[in-house]
Structure 1
Amino acid sequence: MKYEAIVIGTSAGGLDAVKTLCAHLPADFSVPIAAVLHLHRNTKDDLITLLNREIRLTVKYAEDKEQIQKGCLFIAPPDYHLLIEDDRTFSLSVDEPVNYSRPSIDVLFESAADVFREHIIGIILTGANKDGSLGLRRIKERGGTTIVENPRTAQYSEMPLAAIAEVEVDYILDINEITNKVMELLLRSKCKTS
């Protein structure tokens, strides 16, 4: 089984968590990553500039109809839901907020789970609401791998706790352990397929 995508969801404290998670990933990282951070609708491009300075992956806002590609961290643009279509492209939506959020983690995770099924890793990081727990459950139901930041060490514990209450999570890890676990999972899946 080969992993084909990683999805990340985070809210309060999430920028630092994403930087920590992605800091040691190589520029040619073999699996595309899509992330929802709960951004204010007026968030500027400074966020993308900052992340591009801090990590080696190419960081950009996902665009409608854009093909998912490796070596990139795609961020849901402010005030748009981000979905993954069957043809492995992104779509953007201005449908009503979900869990008071647009973009919503659940929206991305549920669409990604339906496309990638057991070939996806879903990660919930720090946050102060419950968005993402239902999407993570969908990933688990479709056979994907689920990781949640340890609520005891997360900057905000509510989102990790909600995910753990909703899903029998595969791994609960401190933020600085998650990258190593992801690399280990990818290496293990690569060995099994070669």
Structure 2
Amino acid sequence: MTADRSTADHYEVVALASSAGGIKALTEILGALGPDLSVPVLVVQHLDPRHRTIIAEVLTRRTALRVKLAEAEERARPGTVYIAPPDRHLLVGPGGTLTLSGSELVHFLRPSADLLFESVAGAYGAQAIACVLTGTGSDGAMGVEAVTSRGGTVIAEDPRTAEFKGMPEAAVGTGSVDFVLPLEEIAAVIRGLVETKRQ
């Protein structure tokens, strides 16, 4: 990692993005992060907007972290997982204040990982970790470039082992990814990054 990429003395947020195959991937990562994570986790999982989602309830049963659908104007708190509601973009601003937007689709998607990552880059700079998991399409690729440009750290699930390789492959193709990892190693690396920079 280059010197300018480590200007922050600690991390303040983790942002995860997934699509097809994402519930399984999120379950594995969130379940392995442990109950005492010192940063909030923001999640974009592409969901069918025509149906009420139970993703928060499903993930709650598999992690010690608190899991909830994000609400507008709430402040992201450590040890809590905030999931973008169906058909709403999830954004974060200064101080960790969350915003939900019904603005136009991005690459035919709402919520958009690109918009989440871009807002995380703007709000947290080098204190951000962004992670692209399994999924079809290329959502997240523009966003990881924004995170990198602000000095943040980017992780991608290894496309060779991802259930659906489109999203992680597009992210890796940008040249902006710091770690390309099999799913089962991602949580340990996130914890290691967060804890190391806080010591």
TM-score (norm 2): 0.93
C-alpha displacement of 1:44:
2.2
1:117 corresponds to which of 125, 130, 140: 125
Contact 1:140 1:167 in 2 (8 A): no
2:147 corresponds to which of 131, 134, 139: 139
| Aligned counterpart, 1:151 | 159
| Aligned counterpart, 2:107 | 99
1:68 corresponds to which of 66, 76, 83: 76
Code of the residue aligned with 1:104 in structure 2: it is: S
Contact 1:133 1:167 in 2 (8 A): no
Higher deviation after alignment, 80-89 or 110-119: 80-89
C-alpha displacement of 1:45:
4.1
Paired with 1:85 and 1:43, the residues of 2 have a C-alpha distance of 28
| 1:87 partner SS | helix
| 1:179 partner SS | helix
| Aligned counterpart, 1:165 | 173
Code of the residue aligned with 2:145 in structure 1: it is: R
1:10 corresponds to 2:13: no
Runs of at least 4 residues of structure 1 off by over 4 A?
Answer: none
Q: Deviations over 1:83-105 (max 9, x none)?
A: 11123210011111101100000
Q: Are the structure 2 counterparts of residues 86 and 187 from structure 1 closer, same or farther at C-alpha, using a change threshold of 3 Å?
A: closer
Measured on the aligned residues, the alpha-carbon RMSD in Å equals 1.0
Q: Deviations over 1:106-136 (max 9, x none)?
A: 0110011001000010000001010100001
Paired with 1:156 and 1:190, the residues of 2 have a C-alpha distance of 34
Which stretches in structure 2 are left out of the alignment for 5+ residues?
1-8
C-alpha displacement of 1:71:
1.1
Taking only the aligned residue pairs, the percentage that are identical comes to 38
Contact 2:73 2:99 in 1 (8 A): yes
Q: Deviations over 1:134-168 (max 9, x none)?
A: 00110011000000000000000111110011133
1:57 corresponds to 2:69: no
Code of the residue aligned with 1:60 in structure 2: it is: K
Paired with 1:168 and 1:41, the residues of 2 have a C-alpha distance of 31
Query: How many pairs align?
Result: 191
1:83 corresponds to 2:91: yes
| 2:57 partner SS | helix
Paired with 2:95 and 2:141, the residues of 1 have a C-alpha distance of 25
1:187 corresponds to 2:199: no
Contact 2:37 2:191 in 1 (8 A): no
TM-score (norm 1): 0.95
| 1:51 partner SS | helix
Which stretches in structure 1 are left out of the alignment for 5+ residues?
none
